Structure 1
Amino acid sequence: MENIQKNIGVNLKNIRKSRGYSLDTAADITGVSKAMLGQIERGESNPTVTTLWKIATGLQVSFSSLISEQPSEVLHVDLQSISPIIECNGNYRVYPTFPFDPRKKFEIFIVEIEPGCQHTADKHNEGVEEYVTVMSGTLEMLIGEQYIQIAQGNSLRFLANKAHTYKNSVTEVIRLQVVMYYP
């Protein structure tokens, strides 16, 4: 519970200061007393859901923007610490290095494809885009009816609203970075 109190306090203070509001102004806008807002910002008070809704409504922000944890300025991701999502009997591995975060519109994966492996992904929702960069090997892709071969160091962007296949026809593991963008 202490972490959420801290998150609320930090978020409230950041939102208030980003708008140039004093505690007095924020109190007038939200209908929550200056003393209570100060206590919340310092993490000394555990506000009720009703109080949080009053603050969110008054500041015209989402409820979740008050309670969500702020990302650190630097996040180092160790690939070996990520449990991969496995397909094709372990021959197609997806490492979610930066999983989807509702505050962002993308997620990033590292994908490893063993020799001879082929994986077909179902179509995604309208407007979803994939950005693929081949880090090692040569990737073959079939996007709808279009065949594309992508060599190491090259990239591809496509609308992912149709089935698409990733294929490794070479004798070495292919490694990709995939960025999924959601409109």
Structure 2
Amino acid sequence: MEIDHDTEIDRLLGQRLKAARRRHGLTLEALAERSGVSRAMISRIERGESSPTAPLLVRLGSGLGLSLSALLEDGPGAGPLARRDAQPVWRDPASGYLRRNVSPRGTGSGFEIVEVALPAGAEVHLTSASGAPALDQQIWVLDGRLDLTVEGARHDLAAGDCLQMHLRGPIIYRNPGSAPVRYAVILAAGSGAFPGHAA
């Protein structure tokens, strides 16, 4: 179920963020300090007045100890099978990258799988909130080429290549090609970040 960027989706994302912040007993000021996102921006997102980008959601999620998937999911787990047409899909309004939460929800599994399609020429910069735990993940390129810079080290990945990393700092995903690149991100559940950070 592909999520379009409209006021309804912005409203739902805002509600989920606000509920998560309250569950953690955090004020707007406390989340702003933990995530490095301004109080005013968090307030606008929670009110559904802003379409947050992937980098912003990653910082907010890591400030709450949540993965991007947790912020984007829209309901309780459905058991061990996740049919493709029921997997939550979200498009980043800035880069146009399409992110699909592949893994079944609510199973207690120790890992998470995300499928990403990054448009030709697109680039996404992700940084966790300060103090967020290191993210153990693997990037497996399914189609195309992916230029990945992890904490300053650059990796040129082709279809079939798989890179494992313990991510502790910034990461840049770039599609140098003329067609979309499609890749899977496999990460340790509960490690608190996005594909690619879970991008």
TM-score when normalising by structure 2: 0.50
Identity of aligned residues (%): 16
C-alpha offsets along residues 14-51 of structure 1, whole Å, 9 cap, x if unaligned?
xxxxxxxxxxxxxxxxxxxxxxxxxxxxxxxxxxxxxx
User: SS in structure 1 opposite 2:185?
Assistant: strand
Structure 1 counterpart of 2:137? 130
Query: Where in structure 1 do 4 or more consecutive aligned residues deviate above 3 Å?
Result: 68-72, 80-83, 99-102
Cα deviation for residue 115 of structure 1 reads: 0.5
Cα deviation for residue 127 of structure 1 reads: 3.5
Q: Does 2:79 match 1:71? A: yes
TM-score when normalising by structure 1: 0.54
Cα deviation for residue 89 of structure 1 reads: 3.7
The one-letter amino acid of 1:71's match is G
Distance 1:96 1:136 in 2: 18
Q: Does 2:98 match 1:93? A: yes
User: SS in structure 2 opposite 1:98?
Assistant: coil
Instruction: Give the paired residue count.
Output: 113
Structure 1 counterpart of 2:178? 171
Structure 1 counterpart of 2:158? 151
| Residue correspondence of structure 1 range 1-183 to structure 2 within 5 A | 71-72=79-80, 75-78=81-84, 80-89=85-94, 91-98=96-103, 101=106, 103-123=108-128, 125-182=132-189
Cα deviation for residue 126 of structure 1 reads: 2.3
Specify every segment of 5 or more residues in structure 1 that has no aligned partner in the other structure, as ranges: 1-67
Distance 1:139 1:165 in 2: 10
Two-structure CA RMSD over aligned residues (Å): 2.6
Alpha carbons of structure 1 residues 148 and 102: separation in structure 2 relative to 1, 3 Å:
same
Contact 1:133 / 1:155 at 8 angstroms: preserved in 2?
A: yes
Distance 1:167 1:103 in 2: 32
Alpha carbons of structure 1 residues 147 and 90: separation in structure 2 relative to 1, 3 Å:
closer
Distance 1:171 1:128 in 2: 30
Specify every segment of 5 or more residues in structure 2 that has no aligned partner in the other structure, as ranges: 1-75, 192-199
